[in-house]
Amino acid sequence: MKLHADKPDANTITAYGDGWIAVNGERLGHSVMLASSGERIDWHCKAHDALGEEHFTSLLALTSAPPELVIFGSGKRLRFVRPALLQSLINRGIGVETMDTQAACRTFNILAGEGRRVVAALLIESGDAEAQTP
């Protein structure tokens, strides 16, 4: 599915498919963290079962100002993480929404386009990238 940006100066997810997303037109087959303010770094997690508290704590270092909301894209299907893993975000009053990665992509674009301080943590699980080519 192709997506179009309303706010071109922010990170925008321009397309997605099974096992990949495209950020500002660049196709990625690995997990990534994106901030609406423009920061983007690889998120070193290859599987939902491998998620630890450090994966969510690292989101706090992505931007200089804390985000209002973290959108967690849990992969092909909706899977929640243990609340203890999100404690560092919750303690700082940062909202966390969990959805499948494709829904997280759409939601990130909408909120970033509105100028909200949002971070997306998008899980692309190993082995999914071969599922589809554009």
Question: Between residues 72 and 1, which one has the greater pLDDT?
Answer: 72
Q: pTM to 2 decimals?
A: 0.85
Could you read off the pLDDT of 49-82 as tens digits, one per residue? 999 999 999 888 888 899 999 999 999 999 999 9
Could you read off the pLDDT of 108-120 as tens digits, one per residue? 999 999 999 999 9
For the segment 79-94, the average pLDDT, to the nearest whole number, is 94
Asked if residue 119 lies in contact with residue 61, where contact means CB atoms within 8 angstroms, the answer is no
Instruction: Tell me what pLDDT residue 8 has.
Output: 53
> How far are the Cα atoms of 49, 130, 134 from residue 120, in angstroms, in the given order?
19, 23, 23
For the segment 69-96, the average pLDDT, to the nearest whole number, is 94
Instruction: Tell me what pLDDT residue 6 has.
Output: 53
Total Cβ atoms within 10 A of residue 75: 20
Domains and CATH numbers, the chain: 13-126 (3.40.1230.10)
